[in-house]
C-alpha cells in the first residue's frame, strides 16, 4: 500500500527546482544550418505529411497515410520519423495525450523554442534544466549510431552538440545546461567529443542503459570496450545520464500488451542497468565516474542494493564476480549513482535507504508524464513530511553538486 503524503508545506518553503530530466524537440534548422552542403539532402530535414501511429508491446510504429493526421516529420538517409503529441504533451488534457502526429504549430512553443522554454520554466517554479533529445534523435543519440554513413553520423552528432551548447543553452545564464550525445559506434570518438564539450562547460552526456540491446558491447566487455569513454567522463566530471528508453525498446511483457503495461514497467531497464554497473567493475576502476538514471524513479533501489550485497556475499563462488568488485555493491551506489524521480511516494518514505544524497528531481517537460506546470505543488504534496534541508537537496542541491552548476545550493 502506498503511504499517503503528509500535508503540504508552504509555498515559501519550496526552493526553485533544478530539473535533471527534460526534453527538447529540435527546431527544423539544427542540421540544415550546420552540415556541409554535400550532406544536406541526406541529413536530417523537417517536412510535413500525414500518417498513422501505434504503440503496442513497448514498440512504436508509424507509416505515411493520406487519411491519417497531419504532422511534422524528420527525414534522414532513407527513413522518415514523425513528431508525436506524446512527446509534446504539455498543454493538452491528459485524455487528449495520444500517439498521433503533431506539427510545430500544434505543440506548445516551449517544446522547441529556447525563450518560450524559459517562460514555461518560470511558470513551473523551475530555475534550471537539462534536456535529453527528442524521439527523432532518440534518448542516447542512437539514431546516428544506426546511420549507414558514419562520416555523416559523426557530423550530425557534433552539429547537435554545437546547437545544444551554442544556441539552446547559450545566453540563459546557466538556466539551461547542455547534455550532449556521443558517437556510440566508436568509444574513442565518443571520448574526444566528451572532452571537446567539457572544455566549453558541458558536464552531461547521455548513454544507453543496456548497450547490447542496441547491438553494442556490454559494459562487462573483457577488453574494456567502453573504458575510453568512461575515463573521459571521469576525468572531466561529465555525468553519464541514462534515460528510460535509451535501450530502444521500452520494457513490456508481450507483443500484444497494452501501452499501460510498459508505462508501469518503465523502471525495469534502469534497474537492470544499475545491477550491471554494480557488478561490472567499472565503478571500481573509475571511482570518479558518476551515473544518473533519468525517469527511473527510486522506490525499487533499496531492494536491489540489498539483493546485490547478498549475492556479493553469498554467491561469489559461482557468480563470476572475481576481484572486479572488491567492496559490497551498495558501496559504489552510494558513492557514484543517482536516482531521478518525479512521482515516487514509496521512495520518498524510504530515503534513508535510497540515500538522501543520491536523489534528484525532474519535471520531464514536455512529455506525457510531465509535472508541468504543477511541479511546485507536487513537491509540496509529496515532500511535506521531509525536513526543509532534505527537500532542498532533492529539488536542487544534489543536482547542483552533481553537474557542477554555478547556482546557489
Helix (H, G, I), strand (E, B) or coil at 354: helix
Percentage of residues in the chain with pLDDT exceeding 70? Answer: 97
Kindly report the CATH number that applies to the domain delimited by 11-41+108-403.
3.20.20.140
CB 332 within 8 A of CB 383: no
pLDDT of residue 1: 31
Q: What is the pTM of this model?
A: 0.93
More confident residue, 263 or 269: 269
pLDDT of residue 8: 40
pLDDT of residue 377: 97
Question: What are phi and psi for residue 145, nearest 5 degrees?
Answer: -60, -35
Give residue 5's pLDDT band: very low, low, confident or very high (50, 70, 90): very low
- Interval 200-214: pLDDT, tens: 999 999 999 999 999
pLDDT of residue 251: 79
Give residue 58's pLDDT band: very low, low, confident or very high (50, 70, 90): low
pLDDT of residue 331: 98
pLDDT of residue 56: 73
- Interval 356-389: pLDDT, tens: 999 999 999 999 989 999 999 999 999 999 999 9
Q: What is the mean pLDDT of residues 111-126?
A: 98
Q: Which helix (H) or strand (E) holds 51?
A: strand 45-56
More confident residue, 150 or 266: 150
- Interval 326-342: pLDDT, tens: 999 999 999 999 999 99
Pick the closest to residue 182 from 111, 245, 246, 278 (CA basis).
Answer: 246
Residue 217 has pLDDT above 70, yes or no: yes
- Interval 22-42: pLDDT, tens: 999 999 999 999 999 999 999
| Average pLDDT value for the chain | 93
Spell out where 279-363 has E strands.
Answer: 291-294, 337-341, 359-361
Residue 167 has pLDDT above 60, yes or no: yes
Residue 7 has pLDDT above 50, yes or no: no
Q: What is the mean pLDDT of residues 107-136?
A: 98
> Cβ of 389: how many Cβ atoms within 10 Å?
9
More confident residue, 190 or 316: 190
Q: How far apart are CA 139 and CA 137, in angstroms?
A: 7
> Cell 523537417 identifies what position?
46
pLDDT of residue 221: 95
Give residue 224's pLDDT band: very low, low, confident or very high (50, 70, 90): very high
SS3 of 125-176: CEEEEEEECCCCCCCCCHHHHCCCCHHHHHHHHHHHHHHHHHHHCCCCCCCE
Give residue 12's pLDDT band: very low, low, confident or very high (50, 70, 90): low
Residue 9 has pLDDT above 80, yes or no: no
pLDDT of residue 98: 86
- Interval 292-324: pLDDT, tens: 999 999 999 999 999 999 999 999 888 888 889
Residue 22 CA, chain-centre distance (Å), reads 8
Pick the closest to residue 379 from 368, 363, 367, 365 (CA basis).
Answer: 363
Q: How far apart are CA 316 and CA 237, in angstroms?
A: 32
More confident residue, 351 or 247: 351
More confident residue, 2 or 175: 175
Residue 314, judged by CB atoms within 10 A of its CB (0-12, 13-18, 19+), counts as exposed
pLDDT of residue 146: 96
Can you give the residue ranges of every domain in the chain? 11-41+108-403
Q: What is the mean pLDDT of residues 221-250?
A: 93
List Cα–Cα distances, 313 to 116, 279, 319, 321, 382, in angstroms: 52, 12, 10, 10, 36
Q: What is the mean pLDDT of residues 9-20?
A: 78
CB 346 within 8 A of CB 339: no
> Cell 538556466 identifies what position?
175
Amino acid at each position: 500500500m502506498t503511504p499517503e503524503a503528509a500535508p503540504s508545506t508552504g509555498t515559501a518553503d519550496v526552493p526553485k527546482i533544478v530539473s535533471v530530466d527534460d526534453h527538447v524537440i529540435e527546431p527544423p534548422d539544427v542540421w540544415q544550418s550546420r552540415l556541409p552542403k554535400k550532406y544536406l539532402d541526406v541529413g536530417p530535414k523537417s517536412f510535413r505529411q500525414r500518417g498513422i501511429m501505434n504503440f503496442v508491446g513497448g514498440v512504436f510504429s508509424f507509416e505515411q497515410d493520406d487519411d491519417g493526421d497531419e504532422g511534422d516529420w524528420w527525414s534522414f538517409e532513407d527513413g522518415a520519423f514523425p513528431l508525436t503529441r506524446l512527446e509534446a504533451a504539455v498543454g493538452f488534457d491528459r485524455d487528449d495525450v495520444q500517439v498521433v502526429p503533431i506539427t510545430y504549430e500544434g505543440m506548445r512553443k516551449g517544446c522547441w523554442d529556447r525563450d518560450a522554454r524559459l517562460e514555461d520554466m518560470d511558470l513551473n517554479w523551475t530555475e534550471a534544466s537539462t534536456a535529453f533529445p527528442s524521439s527523432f534523435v532518440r534518448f542516447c543519440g542512437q539514431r546516428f549510431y544506426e546511420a549507414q554513413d558514419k562520416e555523416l553520423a559523426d557530423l550530425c552528432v557534433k552539429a547537435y552538440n554545437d546547437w545544444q551548447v551554442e544556441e539552446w543553452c547559450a545566453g540563459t545564464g546557466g538556466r539551461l545546461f547542455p547534455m550532449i550525445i556521443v558517437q556510440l559506434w566508436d568509444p574513442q570518438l565518443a571520448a574526444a567529443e566528451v572532452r571537446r564539450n567539457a572544455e566549453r562547460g558541458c558536464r552531461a552526456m547521455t548513454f544507453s542503459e543496456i548497450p547490447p540491446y542496441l547491438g553494442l558491447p556490454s559494459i562487462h566487455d573483457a577488453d574494456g570496450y567502453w573504458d575510453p569513454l568512461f575515463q573521459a567522463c571521469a576525468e572531466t566530471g561529465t555525468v553519464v545520464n541514462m534515460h528510460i528508453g535509451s535501450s530502444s525498446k521500452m520494457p513490456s511483457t508481450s507483443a500484444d500488451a497494452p501501452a499501460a503495461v510498459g508505462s508501469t514497467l518503465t523502471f525495469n531497464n534502469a534497474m537492470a542497468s544499475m545491477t550491471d554497473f554494480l557488478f561490472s567493475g567499472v565503478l571500481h576502476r573509475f571511482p570518479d565516474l558518476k551515473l544518473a538514471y533519468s525517469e527511473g524513479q527510486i522506490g525499487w533501489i533499496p531492494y536491489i542494493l540489498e539483493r546485490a550485497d547478498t549475492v556479493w556475499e553469498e554467491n561469489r563462488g559461482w557468480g563470476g564476480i572475481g576481484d572486479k568488485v572488491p567492496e559490497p555493491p551498495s558501496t559504489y551506489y552510494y558513492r557514484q549513482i543517482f536516482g531521478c524521480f518525479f512521482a515516487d511516494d514509496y521512495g520518498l518514505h524510504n530515503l534513508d535507504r535510497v540515500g538522501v544524497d543520491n536523489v534528484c528531481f525532474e519535471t520531464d517537460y514536455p512529455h506525457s508524464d510531465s509535472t508541468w506546470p504543477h511541479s511546485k505543488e507536487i513537491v509540496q504534496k509529496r515532500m511535506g513530511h521531509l525536513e526543509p534541508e532534505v527537500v532542498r537537496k532533492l529539488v536542487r542541491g544534489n543536482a547542483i553538486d552533481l553537474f557542477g552548476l554555478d547556482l546557489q545550493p
